Structure 1
Amino acid sequence: MLSTAALRAHLLAARLAGPVATSREESLRSYRLFAARDPRVLLGLDPEWRWGEGDLLRLMADKCGVSADPSHVSGPDVIDPERTVAALEAFAQRLREAVLARSPLLFGTGHPHRLLGFYVSLAQALSAAGCVVLTPAQGVGVDMATRFGVRPHRIDYVRGVALVREPGVREPGSATGAHTHSPLPVRIALGALAEAGGPLPELVVGDHGWVCGAGQLGVDAIGLADTDDPALFVGEAEGRVSVAVPLDDAVRSDYYRPLLRWVLHRASLPPGQEWL
């Protein structure tokens, strides 16, 4: 089991924290778009407070450790590994609370190529601990905006974790899917549960629109976010996201495995048996 010091060292070595691949230009562009209420970066969140670019830069400096200097406009962005470790601790403790309460859970990702294994292993561990992992709206269509225009997608599940894929691209259940920031899938999934009269999730675990879309609808949510995803940190600041973990969300899939082991240990859960 990784010590906290070893976890911190791994975060830096894998560039999950420290200087990351996300550029300062990308982050600042996201802050400008968020301040302008561009839905592409709101991720389903409707902020209650007025967030200007300066407000967002100060928030992200506090939550992630990026430079608060507005004149710093180029180069790699930086995440403070101490903030990542602290947020992973809070993430693990929220999972532990879910286990103790036997909470129904919903897992979903807009980063299936990188983070699916992390979430699948969490879902398997939480299921083995007695939590119900919900899989609503399997196969239901959702039209989502892409850089090629609006394209039809379908909600699918891989071992308890929701993602979306374009019909015909992959067989249902295959371990890949589309990269998306959209909150539409989680809205459809939660709507299907409400219509069926079944239990609603007491916690949504994921990223991008899965977290912000759920939080906006009043469902507790926790997730991972990069420096160019200010919506999750705004949601946390406004009380609609319980935990936003700052890290690079697009490194190699296996680089998240040590984080998984650390989180499961801190949540008093057995090591995950699944990985994709």
Structure 2
Amino acid sequence: MLTAAALRAHLLAARLAGVVATPREASLRRYRLFAAGDPRVLIGIDPERSWGQRELIELMADRCGVSADPWQTSGQDVIDPERTLAALDAFAERLAAAARRRAPVLLGTGHPHRLLGFYGGLADALSAAGCTVLTPAQGRCVDITTRFGLRTHLLDYLRGVAFVRRPGVARPGGEPGAHTHSPLPVRLALAAAAEAGGPLPELVIGDHGWVCGAGQLGFEAIGLADTDDPAPFVGEAEGAVAVVVPLDDGARSRYYRPLTRYVLDRACLSP
């Protein structure tokens, strides 16, 4: 079993926590955009109240461990590994509860080239425990606004994990898919599941728009988020999102393998 101390050491060595690659400037910019109501940063969350930039800094300091000093405007963000571990434990509790009741689950990621393996391990374990891993709307088109304009993507699944990809585009020798923060893919998946007469997921696991979009619609949602993504943490603070794990979400995919092992050990879902 991977101990908390061993995982803490890995988080720091891989820079998933501690001093991370996310620049303070990038985080502050996204906090400003969130405070202004920019949908590119809200990513599916409809806040119950107004959040100013200073309040967001305080929230992210509390949930992630970033600097609470609004005058610190440069350098690298810092994530407290103890907060990451505590959130992973809460994440594991939700997995265990879903496995005990054999709940249908939906998994999706906006970072398939980084996080698909992490979620794929969870999907395999939940399926082995008797959970139905849902794959609604596979192959359907979803139009997502990007910095290059409106682009059509296809909703696809690999190892039970949803992601979007450009039609006919894949990464030879690597994990397929496009990076997106949009909540539209999860809305499409949930609508398709409802149209088909169910089942609907009792737990949604993901990041970015997947966790925010599902949580805003009232589904139990848990996931991962970086320090420059305030929306999931606002959703958690307001009760729309159940659990958010603070960590760097842009590291090499192999760095997340110990997190899969740790979470499954805690959830008693290890092979």
TM-score (norm 2): 0.98
Structure 1 position 94, deviation (Å): 0.5
Matched ranges for 1:1-276 at <5 A: 1-170=1-170, 175-271=175-271
SS in 1 for 2:71: coil
Moved over 4 A (4+): none
C-alpha contact (below 8 Å) 1:183/1:210 kept by paired residues: yes
Which whole-Å CA distance do the structure 1 matches of 2:39 and 2:150 have between them?
15
Which whole-Å CA distance do the structure 1 matches of 2:255 and 2:198 have between them?
36
How many residues are aligned here? 269
Structure 1 position 170, deviation (Å): 2.5
SS in 2 for 1:144: strand
| CA offset digits 1:126-155 (Å, max 9, x no partner) | 000000000000000001011211111010
| CA offset digits 1:19-65 (Å, max 9, x no partner) | 00000001100100000010001011100021000110000000000
Which whole-Å CA distance do the structure 2 matches of 1:73 and 1:49 have between them?
25
C-alpha contact (below 8 Å) 1:155/1:164 kept by paired residues: yes
Structure 1 position 255, deviation (Å): 0.4
C-alpha contact (below 8 Å) 2:18/2:80 kept by paired residues: yes
Which whole-Å CA distance do the structure 2 matches of 1:81 and 1:170 have between them?
34
Structure 1 position 91, deviation (Å): 0.3
Structure 1 position 223, deviation (Å): 0.2
| CA offset digits 1:141-191 (Å, max 9, x no partner) | 0010112111110100001000000001129xx831000000000000000
SS in 1 for 2:164: strand
SS in 2 for 1:251: coil
Q: Which runs of 5+ in 1 are unaligned?
A: 272-276
Which whole-Å CA distance do the structure 1 matches of 2:12 and 2:69 have between them?
22
SS in 1 for 2:151: strand
| CA offset digits 1:183-202 (Å, max 9, x no partner) | 00000000001111111001
1:84 is aligned with what amino acid?
A: T
Which whole-Å CA distance do the structure 1 matches of 2:39 and 2:209 have between them?
11
C-alpha contact (below 8 Å) 1:158/1:175 kept by paired residues: no
C-alpha contact (below 8 Å) 2:23/2:76 kept by paired residues: yes
SS in 1 for 2:25: helix
2:141 is aligned with what amino acid?
A: G
Structure 1 position 270, deviation (Å): 1.6
Which whole-Å CA distance do the structure 2 matches of 1:28 and 1:200 have between them?
36
Structure 1 position 113, deviation (Å): 0.5
| CA offset digits 1:231-274 (Å, max 9, x no partner) | 00000000010000000001010000111111000000124xxx
C-alpha contact (below 8 Å) 2:2/2:265 kept by paired residues: no
TM-score (norm 1): 0.96
SS in 2 for 1:143: strand
Which whole-Å CA distance do the structure 2 matches of 1:182 and 1:169 have between them?
19
C-alpha contact (below 8 Å) 2:187/2:213 kept by paired residues: yes
C-alpha contact (below 8 Å) 1:31/1:57 kept by paired residues: yes
SS in 2 for 1:126: helix
1:274 maps to none
Which whole-Å CA distance do the structure 2 matches of 1:168 and 1:176 have between them?
11
2:224 is aligned with what amino acid?
A: L
Which whole-Å CA distance do the structure 1 matches of 2:66 and 2:248 have between them?
12
Q: Which runs of 5+ in 2 are unaligned?
A: none
RMSD of aligned residue pairs (Cα, Å): 1.0
C-alpha contact (below 8 Å) 2:104/2:199 kept by paired residues: yes
